[in-house]
Amino acid sequence: MAVRVPKGYLVSGVHCGLKRDLRKPDLTLIVSEANAAGAGVYTQNLVCAAPVQLDRQRTPSDRIRVVVVNSGNANACTGERGLEDAREMARLAARAARVEEDQVLVMSTGVIGAYLPMDKIAHGIELAAARLGNDEEALILAARGMMTTDTVYKLAGRTISLTRREVQITGMVKGAAMMGPNLATMLGVVFTDAALDSQTAQRILREVVDDTFNCINVDGHMSTNDTVLLLANGASGGPPLSGGLLDEFTRELHELCGELARMIPADGEGATHLVIIEVEGCRSRDDALKIARSIANSPLVKAAVHGADPNWGRIISAAGYAGVAFDPACVELYINGHLLYRGGAPVDFDDAEVSASIRAEKDTHVKLIFSEGNASGRFWTTDLTPEYVRLNADYRT
Amino acid sequence: MAVRVPKGYLVSGVHCGLKRDLRKPDLTLIVSEANAAGAGVYTQNLVCAAPVQLDRQRTPSDRIRVVVVNSGNANACTGERGLEDAREMARLAARAARVEEDQVLVMSTGVIGAYLPMDKIAHGIELAAARLGNDEEALILAARGMMTTDTVYKLAGRTISLTRREVQITGMVKGAAMMGPNLATMLGVVFTDAALDSQTAQRILREVVDDTFNCINVDGHMSTNDTVLLLANGASGGPPLSGGLLDEFTRELHELCGELARMIPADGEGATHLVIIEVEGCRSRDDALKIARSIANSPLVKAAVHGADPNWGRIISAAGYAGVAFDPACVELYINGHLLYRGGAPVDFDDAEVSASIRAEKDTHVKLIFSEGNASGRFWTTDLTPEYVRLNADYRT
């Protein structure tokens, strides 16, 4: 099975009272038996949570040993006390795993503006340390410990052979809303038994995140807590990857992160559709992504998908205000393979047929082909449903 | 009464079959008996409708005589044929009013990507020309002729004295959704019997629109058809306004446009709240508006208002990704006068009390005070409701 705990790691997920439901894990521990290269990519929000501030100082690093995560409370907008709480959370995990405090990275997700209940956190870390394991059950509990409004846990993995060495890469993510441009609101940990030096780990994580987790959204609201961590402990043996082996590893990491990224809008709050927006024929990838993101951020486009309405006018007009120059008379627009617009004017299409195709499938494919160049980009988002609004009108109650 | 037809204008609104409901006017005519200075401000969307392309060429002008507006069809994304239809619409109106073709401005609003039914338009213009009047009834029918999903017609006016001359400024707008940053999706005509030269008219309209119609949104989706026109025919007598008189006129125009602008989110599709976002203590007005707009565009903030949830974390995090540098530890945040956040940390407030205050009033006041400078800005938006999504999931059906 490709989804398993890589060599040299132990994981657990436990319930410590941060969530009301006793059956739901709310604290996750990932421990590497040896020093791991640790890299991180974080929210660009100026208002960032305490754990983000802490981890930013600690990555990249050559000697990460522990990641501790809690759900139910974001430890965001909590000022100095919040930062002290994040540090204390790291200290508690360090003590439990018998490592140094600065070898621990922290992630939190949940409600903004409430202080962490440190007694529960302390108890949770103790419990989690006692239940560390490397089997599938431990891995699933760890993934569940990160969940907030997610309806499913999100795990993926790859086993690859690099010059007869078997390398495992496994990732877990959480996220279902407050998903913005530039790192959707999410937490993610990818951990591998490959050997990487920390600068390389940081560089490839940055590249891969830009192309995967930064190409999804649910509601365009950038969170205070977005974090993706990469740990590489080298337990599969050998020197740090470089050259062709590093390229191969990076390709697999890219694929894995793409798979994990898509799981998030697919589980978007209240969503009934995963919308895949492909933009081709642009001058640059950046242009293509700007257009795709502008479409993905339009509530009118998203509501139309929910209503199975092939409303291409909303799509083309959202492209028009993306801030990218293009000739509106040289654009083709397809929904689920049906041509709806070409040459600046509508084409004759069977509205009912396209509508039925949207209704029939969970995935809706939107494709725009411009005539400006050869660059392309892809973005994943959700539809917008009355259920999303209901969920977010009383998230805290 | 301050809302009346200014001197030297005749107006009408008729039904010509663009809307299904026979009781709903769908074509509006505004005729000036003498040449008027005509100015226009238009959508910044690259994909702009045919009438926008036409009016852009024709403004500013010293000799505008007619504005013809249809609802029910936006004549957008209709290519060359659409542009020819817009020109023909102007020609028909010119003939009916016995003026030159290039003295006519055209506005359209409604569904994107359908060709104008020119036989109906021709019939409508004939009808409208026959029913021109300057009484209140004619004015209301003209305002109703612009409506799409608006639930109320939107009219406002000012009578002012400029050196013993009485000057009338009257405006009508439409708009309830597809409201974006940079000119909400809307049509507006402001017409006055003051005398203005066309360059001055263009300059003051641009300034006033930036501060009024550009500071509202409903869903952040910038339309293909946004247009605000200003006509000044000088029928109140005297030379073109300048100096102190022009300043006074501009102040009144600003107030009038502010009043008209607020009517749009107040009538936002499915909205239950008008949200007024005030941002103070910024380095520049532009910074303040960027932050206000970022908050106004967040579906999470808007859903929270709908749920009467004083979720200040969503507000402060939306400020954090506005692209404006500020010290998160030096921000105060108020909802309806209640302090919810200060100094980077939550303050103790009565959740139930703030929630009740949101529920009790149609207007929700959000105020953020930064410590970066002395500039401020204000933005008006709506809450986000399940009803908005329902309306926009089947707009075309």
pLDDT at A99 over 80: yes
Least confident of A180-184, A391-395, B153-157, B174-178: A180-184
Residue A298, amino acid: S
Interval B109-145: pLDDT, tens: 988 888 999 999 999 999 999 999 999 999 999 999 9
pTM: 0.84
Interval B159-178: pLDDT, tens: 999 988 999 999 999 986 55
pLDDT at A373 over 90: yes
Q: Which whole-number Å values give the CA distances from A51 to A124, A141, A234, B139, B277, in the listed order? A: 17, 22, 26, 60, 30
Look at residues B266, B300, B331 and tell me which one is the last residue of a structural domain.
B266
Give the residue with greater pLDDT, B176 vs B157.
B157
Contacts of B321 in chain A (CB under 8 A): 44-46, 180, 182, 222
The whole-angstrom separation of Cα A55 and Cα A107 is 8
Q: How many residues does chain B have?
A: 397
Interval B188-228: pLDDT, tens: 999 999 999 999 999 999 999 998 998 887 766 777 888 99
The answer to the question of residue A2 being in a domain is no
Q: Is A73 on the interface with B (CB under 8 A)?
A: no
Cα three-residue angle B64-B68-B74, rounded to 5 degrees: 125
Per DSSP, what are the bridge partners of residue A32?
A9
Query: Is residue B355 domain-shared with residue B259, that is, in the same domain?
Result: no
Least confident of A212-221, B277-286, B366-375: A212-221
**Domain CATH for B45:** 3.60.70.12
Q: Name the helix (H) or strand (E) containing B373.
A: none
The whole-angstrom separation of Cα A160 and Cα B177 is 51
The answer to the question of residue A3 being in a domain is no
Query: Is residue B26 domain-shared with residue B63, that is, in the same domain?
Result: yes
Interval B61-83: pLDDT, tens: 999 999 999 999 999 989 999 99
Contact call for A321 and B44, based on CB within 8 A: yes
The whole-angstrom separation of Cα B293 and Cα B27 is 33
pLDDT at A43 over 60: yes
Query: Is residue B283 domain-shared with residue B171, that is, in the same domain?
Result: no
pLDDT at B253 over 70: yes
Helices (H), A297-344: 299-306, 312-320
Nearest chain A Cα distance for residue B107, angstroms = 17
How many Cβ atoms sit within 10 Å of the Cβ of residue A35?
A: 16
The whole-angstrom separation of Cα A291 and Cα A295 is 6
Query: Is residue B250 domain-shared with residue B385, that is, in the same domain?
Result: no
Question: Are B192 and B169 contacting, i.e. CB atoms less than 8 angstroms apart?
Answer: yes
Per DSSP, what are the bridge partners of residue A232?
A37, A192
* A105: confidence class by pLDDT, cuts 50, 70, 90: very high
Contacts of B175 in chain A (CB under 8 A): none
The answer to the question of residue A4 being in a domain is no
Residue B340, amino acid: L
Query: Is residue B52 domain-shared with residue B170, that is, in the same domain?
Result: yes
Q: Which whole-number Å values give the CA distances from A367 to A338, A379, B90, B338, B396, in the listed order? A: 10, 11, 36, 47, 21
The answer to the question of residue A1 being in a domain is no
- Which residues contact residue B13 at a Cβ distance below 8 angstroms, ignoring those fewer than 6 apart? B25, B27, B28, B29, B128, B138, B140, B141, B142, B143, B144, B145, B146
The whole-angstrom separation of Cα A22 and Cα A128 is 15
Asked if A163 is an active-site residue, the reply is: no
Residue B302's nearest CA partner among B248, B363, B246, B383 is B383
Nearest chain B Cα distance for residue A255, angstroms = 28
Contact call for B317 and A112, based on CB within 8 A: yes
Interval A168-196: pLDDT, tens: 999 999 986 554 433 346 899 999 999 99
Q: Which of A300, A331, A364 to mutate to test the interface with B (most CBs of B within 10 A)?
A: A300
Domain residues for B259? 9-266
Look at residues B266, B294, B324 and tell me which one is the last residue of a structural domain.
B266
The answer to the question of residue A36 being in a domain is yes
Residue B374, amino acid: N
Query: Is residue B99 domain-shared with residue B208, that is, in the same domain?
Result: yes
Q: Which whole-number Å values give the CA distances from B72 to B19, B46, B252, in the listed order? A: 6, 22, 32
- Which residues contact residue A376 at a Cβ distance below 8 angstroms, ignoring those fewer than 6 apart? A278, A279, A280, A281, A282, A285, A288
Per-residue pLDDT averaged across A325-347, rounded?
A: 92
Contacts of A329 in chain B (CB under 8 A): 79
Residue matched to tokens 């009508």: B172
Q: How far is CA A59 from the centre of its chain?
A: 18
No. of helices (H) and no. of strands (E), chain B? 11, 14
Residue matched to tokens 């390709």: A251
Query: Is residue A103 domain-shared with residue A236, that is, in the same domain?
Result: yes
The whole-angstrom separation of Cα B344 and Cα B332 is 9
Q: Is A321 on the interface with B (CB under 8 A)?
A: yes
Look at residues A213, A238, A266 and tell me which one is the last residue of a structural domain.
A266
pLDDT at B181 over 60: no
Query: Is residue A120 domain-shared with residue A232, that is, in the same domain?
Result: yes
The whole-angstrom separation of Cα A17 and Cα B105 is 66
* B388: confidence class by pLDDT, cuts 50, 70, 90: confident
The answer to the question of residue B2 being in a domain is no
Residue matched to tokens 């969970």: A362
Q: Is B45 on the interface with A (CB under 8 A)?
A: yes
Query: Is residue B15 domain-shared with residue B158, that is, in the same domain?
Result: yes
Kindly write down the DSSP assignment for every residue of B213-277, as one continuous string.
GGGB-SSS---S--EEEEEE--TT-SSPP-HHHHHHHHHHHHHHHHHHHHHHHHT-TT-S-EEEE
**Cis status, amide bond into A181, omega within 30 of 0:** no
The answer to the question of residue B3 being in a domain is no
Per-residue pLDDT averaged across A48-67, rounded?
A: 97
The answer to the question of residue B116 being in a domain is yes
- Which residues contact residue A137 at a Cβ distance below 8 angstroms, ignoring those fewer than 6 apart? none
Query: Is residue A251 domain-shared with residue A356, that is, in the same domain?
Result: no
Question: Are B30 and B187 contacting, i.e. CB atoms less than 8 angstroms apart?
Answer: no
Residue B204's nearest CA partner among B256, B156, B159 is B256
The conformation of residue A235, written as its DSSP 8-state character, comes to T
Number of domains in chain B: 2
Least confident of B6-15, B238-247, B299-308: B299-308
Query: Is residue B193 domain-shared with residue B298, that is, in the same domain?
Result: no
Cα three-residue angle A21-A25-A30, rounded to 5 degrees: 165
Largest CA distance in chain B: 69
Contacts of A309 in chain B (CB under 8 A): 393-397
Query: Is residue A318 domain-shared with residue A239, that is, in the same domain?
Result: no
The ipTM assigned to this model is 0.80
Residue A239, amino acid: P
Residue B36 half-sphere exposure, CB side, CA atoms within 13 Å? 32
Contact call for B311 and A343, based on CB within 8 A: no
**Domain CATH for A386:** 3.10.20.340
Q: Is A109 on the interface with B (CB under 8 A)?
A: no
